[in-house]
Amino acid sequence: MKKFIICLSALSIIACAEERLPAIEPDVITEKTPNDTDDPAIWVNPDDASKSIVFGTDKDTNGGIYAFDLDGKIIKEKCILNVQRPNNVDLRYGFQLNDSVKTDIIAFTEREKQQIRVFSVPDMTPLDGGGIPVFTDETDRAKRLPMGISLYKSPETQKMYAIVGRKAGPKENYLYQYELKADSLGVVSGSLVRKFGDFSGKKEIEAIAVDDEMGFVYYSDEMDGVKKYYAEPSKGNERVAFFGNDNKFSEDIEGIAIANTGNGEGYIIVSDQQMGYFNVFSRKDNSFIKAINLSTTETDGCDVVTTPLNSTFKTGLFAAMNDDASFYFYDFSKLGLE
């Protein structure tokens, strides 16, 4: 009987392995960071796309934002080091620094200092005077520890916002939205413009992504589903949609990447962390399209661009964190979505 049970168990393992989707191997695996990778953000160089940079967080007390070229090599002079537990990172183009100067920026959370940071790209100059405090009205320290962040540049007003999540929060108003402004000296500060976003209470909210063109913010309520709100503060705080909650995910719902393929079309790509898959939803109506296996494990963050970059990434780049302290890069066509 014991041998029979062992045989059945072995057959079950084989069957499960056979049922998995075929793994798609990355085109590039980056050099490893010292601690724990978490979330990437892709900057497309407007002058030479082949010199684009992928920024990725290395999450620990002695963490940093690491910069990688398209071959996955660390660009030491573009890294931001000695950051106290950076978690998520995001990027936007054309932030108005003063009347005559615009710059591209990255923003990331620095959890242990209870703040967010803002740097210019690609010169990597700090713009925030040392940091912008967040969740300052909370008395419970656990509710002041920022995790997720996404930037939003309003197509209506050209204002720049940071939408920030945290390690723990209430059932309502889990997210805070800050308008980012530079003063006459070019120092960026953040003013709170609204609180929004419901929370199931099941685990936490980390991954946040904003579709600037369509005007929506998406976030992962990790063991509940993907929630969608308006990104424009003037459009109110009512939830617009809720999806991915019908057994599409095995457990944690994590990183979100928005692939814009033009004319309102595209994809919302969301990490199914414990399954090792990515679930793909329609950008247009958020309906489920398919799951894909990109051979990563325990993926937290991901990002995507659909701009041709070089001979390796001819149709764009999808970047995803892997749990061995690296990031995996794929030509966008490998996802099989076109």
Model confidence band, residue 19 (pLDDT cutoffs 50, 70, 90) = confident
Element containing residue 223 per DSSP (H, E)? none
313 closest CA partner among 299, 293, 334: 334
C-alpha distances in Å from residue 198, one per residue of 167, 176, 205, 226, 243: 14, 12, 10, 11, 14
> Which one has a higher pLDDT value, 13 or 173?
173
State the pLDDT confidence band at 2, using cuts at 50, 70 and 90: very low
- Rounded Cα distance between 60 and 256, Å, is 22
Task: Say how far apart CA 153 and CA 180 lie, in whole Å.
Answer: 10
Residue 338 DSSP SS3:
coil
pLDDT at 204 over 90: yes
Arithmetic mean of pLDDT, 80-108: 97
Tokens of 144: 């002041």
Could you give the CA distance from residue 162 to residue 195 in angstroms, rounded to a whole number?
Answer: 12
CB–CB of 48/166 below 8 Å?
Answer: no
Whether the pLDDT of residue 57 is over 90: the answer is: yes
Distance (Å) of CA 258 to CA 89, 112, 272, 302: 15, 28, 15, 9
pLDDT at 9: 44
Is the confidence at residue 282, as pLDDT, over 50?
yes
Mean pLDDT within 43-52: 98
How far is C-alpha 173 from the geometric centre of its chain's CA atoms? 20
Say whether 233 sits in a helix, a strand or coil: helix
In this prediction, what percent of the chain has a pLDDT beyond 70?
Answer: 95
pTM of the entire structure?
0.94
pLDDT for the residue 4 = 42
The length of the chain is 338
pLDDT in tens, 224-256: 999 999 999 999 999 999 999 988 898 899 999
In angstroms, the CA 11 to CA 22 distance is: 19
